[in-house]
């Protein structure tokens, strides 16, 4: 797939770049995408939820009424789940939600997400980007020149650039990541994928490992 390289002001540079079919042109695997996104979201869960069961409730153990003759059901403890303030039946306990996925499956999922973006023509190749200082206005102007101001965007950088990251972080729909940090969830969450020119070769190196 051949795409034009765009300048920061939105104009065409007159140059093109070739995207590898091994990354942007595979047959997408939806189940691999599902598993990778599921793992990503599971790994983000703290798992610190906790509710007290009847054995953990502080209170008297005295029998609250006599066994028979009241006309009501038997009751032996105020900690019973049927009473207000009692313990919870099978309440949540702290647990680890994370699970393992094979590297090849995760790689397939990310290639599938990139292929979907390419098929939908939602990939933009941008000249290598850097800012002299962190300014949100600079990043807003960049998005405006690319006609992406109202879109959720994911910009992939080949190398860390603190000024670019700081310039984007106050913009709700803008996300900036390094190529080495990409994940399937972020790729699919964005409406448009913006690749810096140097990030393309980085992607090819990453997926060739």
Please state, in angstroms and rounded to a whole number, the distance separating the CA atoms of residues 9 and 144. 9
CA 81/CA 201 separation, integer angstroms: 60
Specify the length of the chain in residues: 209
Query: Which residue, 59, 63, 57, 58, is CA-closest to 77?
Result: 63
The yes-or-no verdict on residue 3 having pLDDT over 90 is no
Cβ atoms of 1 and 19 closer than 8 Å: yes
Strands 12-18 and 123-126: unpaired
Tens-digit pLDDT profile for residues 112-158 = 999 999 999 999 999 988 888 999 999 999 999 999 988 999 999 99
pLDDT at 209 over 80: no
All structural domains of the chain, each given as residue ranges with its CATH number in brackets, are: 2-45+100-207 (3.40.1370.10), 47-96 (no CATH)
């Amino acid at each position: 797939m051949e795409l034009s390289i765009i300048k920061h002001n939105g104009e065409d540079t007159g140059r093109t770049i070739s995207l590898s079919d091994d990354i942007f042109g595979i047959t997408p695997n939806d189940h691999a995408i599902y598993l990778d996104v599921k793992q990503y979201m599971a790994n983000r869960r703290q798992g610190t939820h906790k509710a007290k069961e009847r054995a953990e409730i502080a209170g008297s153990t005295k029998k609250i009424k006599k066994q028979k003759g009241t006309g009501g059901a038997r009751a032996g403890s105020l900690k019973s789940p049927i009473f207000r303030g009692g313990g919870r039946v099978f309440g949540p306990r702290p647990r680890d939600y994370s699970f393992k996925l094979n590297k090849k499956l995760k790689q397939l999922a990310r290639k599938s997400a990139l292929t979907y973006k390419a098929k939908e023509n939602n990939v933009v190749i941008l000249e290598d980007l850097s800012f002299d200082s962190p300014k949100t206005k600079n990043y807003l102007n960049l998005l405006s020149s690319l006609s992406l101001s109202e879109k959720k965007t994911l910009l992939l950088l080949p190398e860390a650039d603190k000024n670019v990251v700081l310039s984007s972080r106050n913009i709700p729909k803008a996300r900036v990541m390094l190529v080495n940090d990409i994940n399937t969830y972020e790729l699919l969450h964005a409406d448009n994928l913006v690749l810096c020119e140097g990030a393309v070769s980085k992607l090819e190196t990453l997926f060739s490992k």
